[in-house]
């Protein structure tokens, strides 16, 4: 197992600049070590033989629980109650601020 490339302070500074964050000298040194460790773990994963492994998108077996959309007609009283809850309306439409 090969050792991952050591991340330099200059590379940490470049990453911090891209992320628009300021780091102290101590944080730069700390993150250089941590990022180097992360790349070391990734290198370990590269060595795993995955030739006979099927790709998966998730492993829990959980599925989304959805319900069918059902259109329900409302009576005039319900419509007026809904429209009445809005601060502004015109005819049978509610007015909202423009969103762009």
The structural domains of the chain, with segments of one domain joined by +, span 9-46
Q: What is the pLDDT of residues 54-97, one digit of tens each?
A: 888 888 888 888 989 999 888 989 988 988 898 998 888 888 88
Q: What is the pLDDT of residues 21-56, one digit of tens each?
A: 999 999 999 999 999 999 999 999 889 999 998 888
Q: What angle do CA 79, 85, 86 make, to 5 degrees?
A: 100
Structure tokens, 83:
């429209």
The whole-number pLDDT of residue 3 equals 62
CATH classification for the domain delimited by 9-46, as one of 1.10.10.10, 3.40.50.620, 1.20.1630.10, 1.10.20.60: 1.10.20.60
pTM of the model: 0.49
């Amino acid at each position: 197992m090969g050792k991952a490339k050591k991340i330099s302070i200059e590379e940490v500074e470049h990453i911090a600049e891209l992320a628009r964050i300021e780091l102290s000298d101590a944080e730069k040194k700390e993150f250089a070590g941590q990022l180097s460790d992360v790349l070391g773990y990734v290198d370990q994963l590269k060595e795993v033989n995955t030739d006979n492994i099927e790709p998966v998108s998730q492993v829990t077996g959980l599925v989304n629980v959805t319900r069918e959309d059902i259109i329900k007609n409302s009576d005039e009283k319900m419509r007026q109650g809904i429209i009445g809850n809005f601060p502004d309306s015109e005819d049978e439409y509610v007015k909202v601020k423009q969103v762009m």
